[in-house]
Amino acid sequence: MKEIKEVIVVEGKTDTAVLQQLFHVKTIETQGLQLSDKTLELIVSTSKVKDIIVLTDPDYPGKKIRQQIQDAVPTCKHAFVERKDAIGKKKLGIAEARKEAIIEALENVVQFDSSKESITWKEFLSLDIIGNTKRRESVYQTFNLGQGNVKTLFKRLNMVGITKEDIVNQVGE
C-alpha cells in the first residue's frame, strides 16, 4: 500500500475510512461544512510541519471548505474528484467516489499561487471557453482543476501557471 506523506483534509470519517483502504495516510476531518476555528487552527499548525492536500466533495459545501482552507493555508495542495465520479446511490462525495478516481486525484494534485499571471483575459477570451460549457469542462478536466464557472477557471489557470499555449497543446484550438 502506497504511503502519502502529506496530510489530507477531508470532510468526514467515511472519507478517511475510504482513503485508509487505499493508502497509508493521515487525515484531518472538517466535519462537513461546519469547519470550526479549532479544526482550521489544527490544519494551519499541521501545515507548518507537513504539506496539506485538500480533498473535499465536489459540491457547494466542499468548494466552500476548500476556499476556507486555501485562504488560511495558501501553500496547500488540491486534489479534485469529478462530480460524475463521486455519485453514489443517494449521496455525492469522496466516500462514494470510484476508487480509481480518488487515486487519480491524488496523483494529480495542484497548488495555487495567486501571484502568477500566466494567461491574460484577452488570451483566455480567444480560447472560446466563455459560453462553451463542453470546452470549459474539458479544460478543467485536462488540468485537474476541479469544477466551476468561467471566472473560477480563469483564476485557477493563472494560479497554477497554465498558459494559452498549454491549453492549445492539450485541448486544441
pLDDT at 51: 94
pLDDT at 166: 92
pLDDT at 83: 82
Sheet holding 52-54, edge to edge: 23-29, 2-10, 52-54, 77-78, 110-111
Residue listed under C-alpha cell 500566466: 118
Provide CATH code, domain 1-111.
Answer: 3.40.1360.10
Quick one: cell of 113? 499561487
Domain ranges of the chain: 1-111, 112-173
Eight-class DSSP state of 130:
T
pLDDT at 114: 74
pLDDT at 77: 93
Q: Say if residues 92 and 59 touch (Cβ distance below 8 Å).
A: yes
- For the chain (173 residues), the mean pLDDT of every run of 10, in chain order, is 92 93 94 87 94 92 91 92 83 88 90 83 90 90 87 89 90 79
Distance (Å) of CA 53 to CA 65, 91, 111, 122, 151: 13, 23, 9, 32, 23
Which residue(s) pair with 9 in the sheet? Answer: 28, 54
Global pTM value? 0.79
132-144, pLDDT tens digit by residue?
999 999 999 898 8
